[in-house]
């Protein structure tokens, strides 16, 4: 089985975001970059399939030289080969198109990714990639079973999960809960240093959306503290929610 895992480099979730001087992107100063957390579940699942069923795991990421950190980390965790698609595409459809153009004749049985990248939060590259490759999809998956040319996935929906059955090849996007990602071993880290990351000039399809402005969230109105004994605090809160906020 050939598995592709698409990875995205994103700012650490504990990073405080600032808008850059151009007014439409984030200020990269003081940002710590990590592999998007949902992508870690995708990679872990691929490595577990490799261990249980035997598979060749390729990781791919789009971007410039900086994303090599993410790819190197994936090699340390157990991926076999890593590909850097050099591209400055930032729109979801352009990214999905660049990935599809490269992946379409590589014979991947399974393509894994996080259900969304932390940042753009569109959660759309996975389903777009599935459509562009003309294959099945299951998104926000918390449990995955691979059969003989088939898959069974449980995905999160409102108030429960739904079971999706389909044919491989497929794009599966991971949700927290799918597995518990491992840490890289020292041996893995040393081994990854010796591996080469293949660099390919990715297609640069024109984007269909662009970010034309970015602002910080509006400041929240000043709040107030409610004093007294617990019973008094409780009564004061419910009265405020009823009379001031008009919630009840």
Partner 1 sequence: MILVFCELKDGKLRKPSAEALSEGRRLADASGKSLGALFVGASNAGAADAANYGADLVLTCEASHLASYSSDAFASAISDAVKTKGATVLLGGATAMGKDALPRAAARLGAGYAGDVTGLSMVDGKLQAVRPVYAGKAFATTAFSSNVQVATTRPNVFTATEKSGPGVMEALPAPAGDFKAIVKEILAKGTGKADLTEANIIVSGGRGMKNGENFAILEALADALGGVVGASRAAVDAGWGISHGMQVGQTGKVVSPTLYIACGISGAIQHIAGMSGSKYIVAINKDPEAPIFKLASYGIVGDLFEVVPELTRAAKAMGIGQH
Say if CB 173 and CB 115 are below 8 A apart. Answer: yes
CA angle 163, 169, 171 (to 5 degrees): 60
Q: Which of residues 143-172 bind partner 1 (CB under 8 A)?
A: 151-152, 154-167, 170
Binding mask 227-246 toward partner 1 (x if CB under 8 A, else -) reads ---xx-xxx-xx-xxx--x-
Q: Which of residues 103-142 bind partner 1 (CB under 8 A)?
A: 118-124, 126-132, 135-140, 142
Q: Whole-number minimum distance, CB 156 to partner 1, in Å?
A: 6
Cα distances (Å, whole numbers) of residue 176 to 36, 99, 139: 12, 24, 12
Q: Which of residues 167-226 bind partner 1 (CB under 8 A)?
A: 167, 170, 175-177, 206-217, 220-221, 223-226
Closer residue to partner 1 (CB): 66 or 150: 150
Please give the Cα distance from 103 to 81 (Å, whole number).
14
**Closest Cα partner for 196 from 87, 83, 44?**
83
Q: Which of residues 35-74 bind partner 1 (CB under 8 A)?
A: 37-38
Q: Whole-number minimum distance, CB 126 to partner 1, in Å?
A: 8
Please give the Cα distance from 84 to 103 (Å, whole number).
12
Q: Which of residues 7-26 bind partner 1 (CB under 8 A)?
A: 11, 13-17, 19, 24, 26
Q: Which residues on adjacent β-strands are paired with residue 85?
A: 62, 200
């Amino acid at each position: 089985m050939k598995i592709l895992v698409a990875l995205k480099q994103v700012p650490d979730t504990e990073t405080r975001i600032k808008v850059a001087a151009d007014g439409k992107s984030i200020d990269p100063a003081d940002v710590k970059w990590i592999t998007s957390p949902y992508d870690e579940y995708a990679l872990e699942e691929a490595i577990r399939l490799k261990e249980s069923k035997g598979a060749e795991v390729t990781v791919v990421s789009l971007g410039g030289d900086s994303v090599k950190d993410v790819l190197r980390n994936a090699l340390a965790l157990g991926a076999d080969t890593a590909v850097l698609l050099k591209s400055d595409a930032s729109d979801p459809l352009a990214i999905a198109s660049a990935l599809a153009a490269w992946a379409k004749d590589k014979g991947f049985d399974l393509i894994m990714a996080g259900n969304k990248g932390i940042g753009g939060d569109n959660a759309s590259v996975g389903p777009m990639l599935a459509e562009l490759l003309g294959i099945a999809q299951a998104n926000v998956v918390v449990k995955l079973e691979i059969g003989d040319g088939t898959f069974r996935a449980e995905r999160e929906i409102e108030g429960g999960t739904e079971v999706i059955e389909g044919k491989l090849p497929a794009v599966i996007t991971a949700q927290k809960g799918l597995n518990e990602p491992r840490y890289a071993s020292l041996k893995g880290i040393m081994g990854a240093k010796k591996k080469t990351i293949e660099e390919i000039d990715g297609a640069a399809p024109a984007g269909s959306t662009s970010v034309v402005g970015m602002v910080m969230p509006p400041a929240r109105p000043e709040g107030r503290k409610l004093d007294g004994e617990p019973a008094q605090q409780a009564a004061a809160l419910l009265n405020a929610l009823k009379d001031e906020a008009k919630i009840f």
